[in-house]
Amino acid sequence: MASATMDHMISLIVFIAAILIFIGLFSQPIQTAIVYESHRALSTKTSDLLDTILLNPGIPANWGQSNCTAQGFGLQDPEFTQYQLSPFSLMRLGSSTGNMVEYDKTSPSIYYNNASLGFGASLLTPNAQALNYSASLALLGINNTYGFQLTLTPDITVSITENHGSSPLDLSISATGTGFPFAGASINYCLILVTLPQTDAEYPFYTIQNGVVTTDQQGIANVTFPSVTDPVYAFIAYAHLDGVVGVGYFTHGSATDQYVVPIVQDMASQEVTLAHNYDLNNSGLAGFSLKYNATFVISTEDYTLSELSLGSPSSQGIVTSGVGNPYPSIPLPTCTTGILIVTYQQEGSTQGGVVMMPWGISSLAFPVTFGGNPVGQDWVATDIRQVIIGGIAYQAKLALWNQGVQVTG
C-alpha cells in the first residue's frame, strides 16, 4: 500500500515537473512565431500604406496648392496617374529634419520649415500651413497604432565642384545613381552668370549659357568656360538617361555674409517674401541693405531655362534688415514647377551673389523626410518605390513601426 502511494506521489511530481518544463519549452517557438507573424503583418502594412500615400492625391486633390487643411493624406499628382507625386503637396509637409526658422518681419514668432541644402538654394515654407506628422497619422487612420517616416531621395545625385574658379572657370559634374555611376548620361547645364553693376541705380542681373556634355564611365563630366573671369554665378545641371533624370546645382558669390533668402508666405497665392538673412532668427543687425533682382524660370523639355515674367514691381528693389524696414513680396506667376532666381548686391559695394528657391520640391531635387524617428523602435519594416516628381526620378522609402502594443520576442 505504501509502495503504491509513493509510486503515485513520485509519478505525479515528475509529471507536473515535466509539464511545467515542456510548457516553457513550447512557449518559446510559439512566442517567436507570434512575433514573426506580427513582423510579417507590419511588412504587409508598410507596402499597403506606401501605396496608399503614393497612389492617391489626398482630399481635396489640390491641397498641395492651397491653404486648406487636408482631409485625406496622399501625395500623388492629381494631374497624373501611377507613381507620379505632386511637387507642391511635398512642400506642405512639415519637415522632420530641418530646423525651424523664425522670421518676425511681418509679426512676431512666425516660424518656417527649413528644407534648405546649404548656401545658395533654400526652401522655407510657412509652418502654419504645413501638414504635421500627427495630423497625417490621423488622416491615414494609424494614430496610436503605427508610426512612420517617409523619405524621398533623388535617384541620381548630381554634384558639382569647382576645379578652377576663374579664367577659365572649370567645373566638374558628377552624376551617381543609388547603386551605380550614371555613365554615358547626357548632362544639360545652365550657367547663370551674374553681372554686378558699378552704379547704385542699376540692379544685378544675369545671363544664361546652355550646353550639353556626356559623363564618362565614372559618371563624371567636365565643363570649362574660358571667357568667364571673376565669376558670380549659379550652375544647374540636369543628368538624364533612359527616363531617369537627376538635377544638381552649385552657386558661387562674392558676398556670403549678407544675402537674400526667399520665403514662401502663402501656398495658395504663391506669394514669396524676400528676406535679408540678418532677419532670420534675428541673427544680425538692422539697417543693412541689399539690392536684388528676382526672376522666375521654368525648365523646358530640352532642359534649358525659360524665363516667365513676374509682372510685379517688387521683382527689383532693396531689402533692408531690421523690423520696420520694408520687405518685398512677389507673387509667382505659375502653378508649374520652376526656380526663383534672386541676384543680389550689397548697397554701395560690388559684392553680391545669387540664390535660388525651387518652386516645387523637385526643381532642384530637394530630398524630403517626413514623419517620426525610427531610431530606437523595436522593429522597423521598410519598403521602397520608384516615383517621378516633376520629371525627376526619386526613390520613396517608408519606414513603419508599431506604436502602443509592442510584441517582443
Partner 1 sequence: MIRTIEVLFVIIILAGAFIGASYFAVLPAPRQVSPINLNRLSLTTLQMLDSDYDLSRAAFETDNSTVLGQLQVALSASLPPNVIYNLTVYDVNDGGGQLYTSVANFSNAESLGTTSDVSMYTVASSNVTFNVTPEKIGEKSNGGTLYILNCSDANGWWITGYTAQSLAQDLYNLLSPYFVNTVMVQNTSQLAQILIGTPLHGENLQNAVVINTCGEAVPIPTTYCQALYSTDSYAYYSYFLGQRVNLYNWTWASIVGYPFYYVSNTVAFASGQNTWGIYGMQSTGQGGSRAFLEGVNNQSYVSNSNAITDSANRVVTFTQAAIDSCNYYGIYPSIYQTSTRALSNSTMSSYNLKVGFNVFNPSGDYLAGAVYNHVATGSTNITGSLLALGLTRTPDVRVTALSLLSYYQPRLYPSEYTASGTSRLVVLQLGLAGGS
The verdict on 1 binding partner 1 (CB under 8 A) reads no
Residue 121 or residue 175: which is nearer to partner 1 going by CB?
Answer: 175
The verdict on 383 binding partner 1 (CB under 8 A) reads yes
Residue 101 or residue 156: which is nearer to partner 1 going by CB?
Answer: 156
Instruction: Tell me which of 27, 29, 132, 164 binds partner 1, using CB under 8 A.
Output: 29
Instruction: Tell me which of 31, 34, 36, 302 binds partner 1, using CB under 8 A.
Output: 36
Cell 506628422 found at: 133
Instruction: Tell me which of 110, 117, 208, 244 binds partner 1, using CB under 8 A.
Output: 244
Instruction: Tell me which of 60, 165, 181, 331 binds partner 1, using CB under 8 A.
Output: 181
The verdict on 39 binding partner 1 (CB under 8 A) reads yes
The verdict on 386 binding partner 1 (CB under 8 A) reads yes
d(CA 126, CA 273): 11
The verdict on 173 binding partner 1 (CB under 8 A) reads no
Instruction: Tell me which of 27, 31, 34, 40 binds partner 1, using CB under 8 A.
Output: 40
The verdict on 182 binding partner 1 (CB under 8 A) reads yes
Instruction: Decide: residue 395, CB within 10 A, 0-12 exposed, 13-18 middle, 19+ buried.
Output: middle
Minimal distance, residue 323 CB to partner 1, in Å: 47
Q: Judged by CB under 8 A, which stretch of 40-48, 102-110, 282-290, 305-313 contacts partner 1? A: 40-48
Instruction: Tell me which of 43, 166, 209, 336 binds partner 1, using CB under 8 A.
Output: 43
Binding track over 249-288 against partner 1, x by CB under 8 A: ----------------------------------------
Minimal distance, residue 202 CB to partner 1, in Å: 42
Grid coordinates representing 369 are 523626410
Binding track over 199-238 against partner 1, x by CB under 8 A: ----------------------------------------
d(CA 223, CA 213): 8
The verdict on 407 binding partner 1 (CB under 8 A) reads no
Minimal distance, residue 375 CB to partner 1, in Å: 17
Minimal distance, residue 151 CB to partner 1, in Å: 13
Q: Judged by CB under 8 A, which stretch of 1-9, 110-118, 225-233, 277-285 contacts partner 1? A: 1-9
For residues 207 and 305, the answer to whether their CB atoms sit within 8 Å is no
Q: Judged by CB under 8 A, which stretch of 126-134, 140-148, 171-179, 225-233 contacts partner 1? A: 171-179
Among candidates 233, 223, 267, which has minimal Cα distance to 112? 267
For residues 229 and 166, the answer to whether their CB atoms sit within 8 Å is yes
Binding track over 105-144 against partner 1, x by CB under 8 A: ----------------------------------------
d(CA 33, CA 18): 23
Q: Judged by CB under 8 A, which stretch of 99-107, 281-289, 331-339, 387-395 contacts partner 1? A: 387-395
Q: What are the residues binding partner 1 (CB under 8 A)?
A: 3, 7-8, 10-12, 14-15, 18, 22, 25-26, 29, 32-33, 36, 39-40, 42-43, 47, 51, 82-83, 155-156, 176-185, 241-244, 379, 381-388, 391, 393, 395
